[in-house]
Structure 1
């Protein structure tokens, strides 16, 4: 059960941090300097940490105080926005909403879902960033995060939902297949030019292929070309440089247009989960809810 005791002194603490002075904060809040000082002392005692570094000439936040300040300002901002929404005649999504997306997937798949929603709600102020790997939404100030893989790693403070799963499939351009033939068996790949995904440290990603003895087997690739970016990998395949393995979402359009052709479809495998995660305490805010609803409908 949440205790209201946790809220006591937070507004005073934030005001002191903003003005850098007990006296200035007291004037702003129409309190005495003594009352402000006692409120901070009680808060520090309850938290078991010093929030301010005090000298005769200067008042500054400690490291613990700085971390607490960032959390408190976020909570107060959410409360203020929730009150504004409840007081409004119509609950219209408004204000800044921070959305973090994986690079290629975010640009090609998520933005087309989000942009019509953002245009329909002109009071929204979206801040869309692109990054890879798991992030700490609380620390980074993100409201909503979309990720491929890692869905099981979100902390209890985050809500999350798996929207879909990607598939891994082998593809090549019609021109390459016309010049080198179409492989019919997995063993035929040994006679073909292969394009692999690699990292700057020299590691090469194996291909995931279906195996009659189990769901997935890693096939080591002896590539003639290594590219460390999914979009670059697709460009190489489109140019006829060889056979490469792709996530299904990346090559959907080239396959539909005939610019790429799937080969050895019996080797295709299910890949990572595509999920959306959000900060639980913000999910009721209209600005967050409208984006979540759009993502869940558009990416599922």
Structure 2
């Protein structure tokens, strides 16, 4: 027979796991840190397993804690949805959805879709963050993640949909080309000002060049960069200012190509870029607000036929 004892402490446990701190969890639940700690201790004693690995610097889930967390979040999601369905006769989408998006791509492509969806469902509460690093949706309590690039194999606990690839083209401003000329071959790039993407550690991303298009071959090589910028939007500003030639995804520059403020050069060397991935917690997928938003993002971010996103 089911015992209500099994539910005691679950909400506290999930809150601590999401917060990564007893203190922060206590603030969120309007309890004392001592009460939080005692609740976790009682839960661990009842389960006969240690749920958290405590150090002086951080609080992390043990393997047993991660397994229990996945189960608990699934149960709580189902309870939440059951309660919401009772309060909403018209099945209006409502509740919080946490999303994490890549910086430039997320703001330019995904955020407008989310905002329109939220306007159509005023009881929905999107919580949107931006980062380009790899993130673990379960460990960080994120419902939906959009990533450019990322893992080739995703854990069984995560749902994943490959949406397509970026399309990278070489481009420059009309003013730059008027002053320096238009490159006609790959070798001509050696005599131009090249703007590349780089990281704070000094590493510079190579450019991709298409080989035999029919064979789908792509070659990556370093170019002699005269300017290195560690942000996609910063690269765009640099090209628009006339600082040189850059290789950029069409989703970032399409409007400028259409307006004539940027010009594509060496079009035969354009190539596929990184994969665009939609990732989510499987335990949350059954919630209508999550499944509906997944469909919106999958349809809106899917690359159109031809080149680009």
Q: Where on the TM-score scale, by shorter chain, does this alignment land: which range?
A: 0.7 to 0.9
State how far apart, in whole Å, the 1-side matches of 2:123 and 2:72 are. Answer: 22
**1:145 corresponding residue in structure 2:** 145
Distance 1:216 1:256, change over 3 A: same
C-alpha distance in 2 between matches for 1:50 and 1:160: 30
Deviations 1:247-298 (A, max 9, x none): 1211111111111101001111111111111111211101101211110121
Give the Cα–Cα distance (whole angstroms) in 2 for the partners of residues 268 and 191 of structure 1.
Answer: 19
1:77-121 alpha-carbon deviations (Å, 9 max, x no partner): 312222124434222211111011000000001111111110111
Contact 1:50 1:62 in 2 (8 A): no
Distance 1:277 1:199 in 2: 25
Unaligned runs of 5+ in 2: 14-28, 53-58, 303-309
Q: Residue 217 and residue 123 in structure 1: after superposition, are their counterparts in 2 closer, same or farther (change >3 A)?
A: same
The CA distance in 2 between the partners of 1:240 and 1:15, in whole Å, is: 55
Aligned to 1:116: 116
Measured against aligned partners, the alpha-carbon deviations of 1:150-207 in whole angstroms (never above 9, x if no partner) come to: 2523211111111121011110000101111111111111111111111122111111
Q: Which segments of 5 or more consecutive residues in structure 1 lack a partner in the other structure?
A: 26-36, 53-60
3-state SS of 1:146 partner:
strand
- The correspondence for 1:245, drawn from 240, 244, 247, is 247
Structure 1 CA distance for aligned equivalents of residues 44 and 204 of structure 2: 55
Q: What TM-score do the two structures reach when normalised by structure 1?
A: 0.80
Corresponding residue of 1:77:
76
Q: Give the whole-Å Cα distance in 1 for the aligned partners of 2:150 and 2:65.
A: 30
Which of the pair has more CA radius of gyration? 1
Query: Any conservation in 1 of the 2:74–2:284 contact (CA below 8 Å)?
Result: no
Partner of 1:30: none
Question: How many residues end up aligned between the 2 structures?
Answer: 270
Structure 1 residues 63, 197: closer, same or farther in 2, change over 3 A?
closer
CA RMSD of aligned residues (A): 3.0
